[in-house]
Every structure is written in C-alpha cells, then in structure tokens.
C-alpha cells in the first residue's frame, strides 16, 4: 500500500454473492491510469458462493484489499468501508456494475484542477456544459436531490458516479442507515450535498448499471422500508427545501401502493384490511398534508398523477384497484 498521503481516492466496493460479475469490474479498475493513487476496499458481506475465493485468486495490485464480515447488508458494508478509507475522497461502486475506462483519470483530472475544490463531485449529469465542470448554486440543490430539472431526468439520486470529500463525511458523521434496503444511498447522497459548501458537476459519463436493483421488486419489506425512508428524509431536509419532501412523500406513497398494497394477497392481507391499513398510514405518517399538493403533478407520470388524486380524496380501495388494472392484474 502507498503512503496515506499519496492516496487521493478510496473506492469502496461492497460484495455479496457476486462471483459472476466482480472480476470484470476489478480487472477494469486495475488497468486504469493513476490506480496507484487509489485505495480499493472490497467489503464482502458474508457471501456464500465463491466470491471470496475468486477475489483471492485474482492477481490484483497491492492497494486492493479484501475484508470479510458477517452478512448484515450493503449499508453496513459501506459504513465499514468508510472507516477503512485513507483517501481524500471516497466513492462507491456496486460489484455488479461497471465504470468507464477513464473513471479514475477523470477524478484525478478534477482533483488537480485548481479552480475546483469541492466537497462533492458529481458526474453523469444531464446538462450541456460550456466547461468540463460547473459549480452549482444554492437554488440547484433540489434538482440534484430530486434527480430532475425542468421535469427531465437530471442526475441519479444515489451515490454512484459521485466523489465525496472524506472530511465532509467524517466531520458530519454521515452514514448509511442499515435499516433501509431501498433508498439508503439517496439519504446518504442528500446528506452530503446538504452539508457541502461546494458541489461541482460534470456531464461526463462514468458509471454503467448492469442489472436491475431491488427498487423494482415487490417485497413484504417495502412497507417498513418506505416508512423508515420518509422518517430519515424528514430529519435531514431543512424547511427551505420542503419541495423535496413533497416530491418524495408523493412518490413514496405511490411506491407503497404499487409495491406493497396492490399485492395485498401476497402480503397476507384481505382487500378490506389493505385499504384500512393504507388509510391509517396516510394519516399517521402525515402523507395527507403532502399528497393534496397538486403543484408538482408535472413531475409525476400519468399513472402516479391519477393515484395521487385518488389517495388525496381518501379513495384507498379505488387506488389499489386502479393500480392492479393498470398492471393487468385483477
């Protein structure tokens, strides 16, 4: 391992049963220019396949390190990686994804650019830029946390293709919430952006998703996850950015209907119990004060605009029937 002073970037890669995809990513990173200025931290989260054996067989540079731990989830793996990070900046890559051949050089170029000293550097932004990098202003914070600008996709709301100052993370004690299965990266990213004194963006494409993530799956865990996510989000969003809360409360309740209550039979509920429970959640968790707001309908797809209107009028049963009809279920 190089001296800590030489390490500019710590790359944290959590793994769990990724034997078929991980070597492709590690090989791509090992070949990149300036790899000697990085620390690659692989945190295996108790894999039960051959992931660990395959990593140990790989002829990787000395600055690649594997750490194994008990299976406790991706958030705890990333948090553990942060405690091991020696770089001035930290970034995260999922083991089943891929990065551009100039992923590390692009960061190094930014780092040594004298006019760009930022707490957060965000690549893959959907914007035509006159220069390679642009510092955002305070009014653009919502765009980055919501992932949209002028009703169009703007930047991913998660942690990928982003580089965070280690000092920013440690001084503000920013961590991933292990209780979250979905949205934990959004909360982390939003916390970093809100604490940052300077955020810089680039439209250079560096990160490539290889597989669908768990947000697309129907699960009994979705209810608790959604409610925890909303509690976490409310803790970090200041009053001047209430627009963010409105956006995520509306999309969150739509997610809950589609990914949990519309599959009420799979969740062990009757239709009646599903409608009653959904109505109680809307009231108890303060969704009602947000879903009545129609000012942000232009940010929603047609299905969710209709769903918001149904829910705002207390038509929980109708909302469940509507989603099932749209999705071709009865």
Could you tell me how far CA 96 lies from the centroid of its own chain?
Answer: 15
- Averaged over 99-112, what is the pLDDT? 96
What integer pLDDT is reported at residue 147 of this predicted model?
Answer: 95
pLDDT tens for each residue of 117-134: 899 999 999 999 988 999
Cα–Cα distance, 153 to 125 (Å, whole number) = 9
Pair of tokens at residue 89: 């900046």
Question: Beta strand 152-153 with 98-99: parallel, antiparallel or unpaired?
Answer: unpaired
**Exposure string for 54-86, b = 16+ CB within 10 A, e = fewer:** bbeeeebeebbebeeeeeebbbbbbbbbbeebb
Q: Give the tens place of pLDDT for each residue, 29-72.
A: 999 999 999 999 999 999 999 999 999 999 899 999 999 999 99
pLDDT at 213 over 70: no
Q: Match domain 4-214 to its CATH number in 3.40.50.2020, 3.90.550.10, 3.30.56.10, 3.30.465.10.
A: 3.90.550.10
pLDDT score at 224: 95
Distance from C-alpha of 253 to C-alpha of 282, rounded to nearest angstrom = 8
Choice among 78-82, 116-120, 170-174, 200-204 with the minimum mean pLDDT: 116-120
| Residue 2: per-residue pLDDT | 57
Beta bridge mates, 162: 122
Q: How many other C-beta atoms can be found within 10 angstroms of the C-beta atom of residue 259?
A: 21
Angstrom distance (rounded) from CA 294 to CA 198: 32
Q: Tell me what the mean pLDDT of segment 261-271 comes to.
A: 96
Provide the pLDDT confidence category of residue 21 given band limits of 50, 70 and 90: confident
CB 215 within 8 A of CB 186: no
pLDDT of residue 211: 67
Higher pLDDT, 70 or 219: 70
The secondary structure element, H or E, covering residue 90 is strand 89-92
pTM: 0.94
With cut-offs at 50, 70 and 90, classify the pLDDT of residue 115. low
pLDDT at 295: 87
pLDDT in tens, 277-320: 999 999 999 899 899 999 889 889 999 999 999 999 999 999 99
Q: Specify the higher pLDDT residue, 21 or 330.
A: 21
Closest to 141 in 3D by CA, of 93, 63, 220, 201: 201
Q: CA geometry: angle at 228 spanning 163 and 280, to 5°?
A: 150
State the pLDDT confidence band at 329, using cuts at 50, 70 and 90.
Answer: confident
Q: Across all residues in the chain, what is the average pLDDT?
A: 93
Residues of the chain with CATH 3.90.550.10: 4-214
Task: Please list the helix, strand and coil fractions of the chain in percent, rounded to the nearest 5, in that order.
Answer: 45, 15, 40
């Amino acid at each position: 391992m190089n001296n800590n002073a030489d390490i500019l970037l710590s790359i944290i890669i959590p793994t769990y049963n990724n034997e078929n995809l991980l070597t492709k990513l590690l090989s791509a990173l090992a070949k990149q220019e300036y790899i000697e200025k990085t620390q690659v931290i692989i945190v295996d989260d108790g894999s039960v396949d051959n992931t660990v054996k395959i990593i140990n067989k790989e002829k990787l540079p000395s600055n690649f390190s594997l750490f194994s731990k008990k299976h406790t989830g991706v958030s705890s793996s990333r948090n553990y990686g942060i405690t091991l990070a020696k770089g001035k900046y930290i970034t995260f890559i999922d083991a089943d994804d891929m990065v551009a051949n100039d992923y590390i050089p692009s960061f190094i170029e930014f780092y040594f650019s004298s006019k760009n000293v930022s707490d957060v550097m965000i690549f893959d932004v959907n914007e035509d830029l006159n220069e390679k990098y642009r510092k955002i202003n305070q009014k653009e914070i919502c765009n980055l946390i919501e992932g949209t600008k002028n009703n169009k996709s703007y930047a991913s709301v998660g942690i990928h293709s982003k580089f965070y100052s280690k000092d920013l993370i440690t001084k503000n004690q920013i961590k991933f919430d292990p209780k979250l299965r979905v949205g934990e990266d959004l909360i982390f990213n939003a916390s970093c952006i809100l604490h940052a004194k300077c955020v810089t963006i680039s439209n250079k494409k560096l990160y490539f998703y290889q597989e669908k993530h768990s947000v697309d799956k129907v699960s009994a865990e979705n209810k608790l996850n959604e409610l925890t996510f909303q509690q976490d989000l409310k803790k970090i969003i200041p009053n001047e950015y209430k627009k963010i809360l409105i956006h995520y409360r509306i999309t969150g309740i739509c997610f809950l209907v589609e990914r949990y209550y519309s599959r009420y039979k799979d969740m062990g509920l009757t239709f009646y119990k599903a409608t009653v429970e959904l109505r109680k959640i809307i009231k108890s968790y303060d969704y009602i004060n947000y879903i009545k707001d129609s000012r942000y309908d232009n940010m929603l797809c047609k299905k969710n605009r209709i769903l918001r209107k149904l829910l705002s009028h207390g038509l929980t049963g109708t909302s469940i029937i509507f989603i099932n009809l749209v999705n071709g279920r009865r």
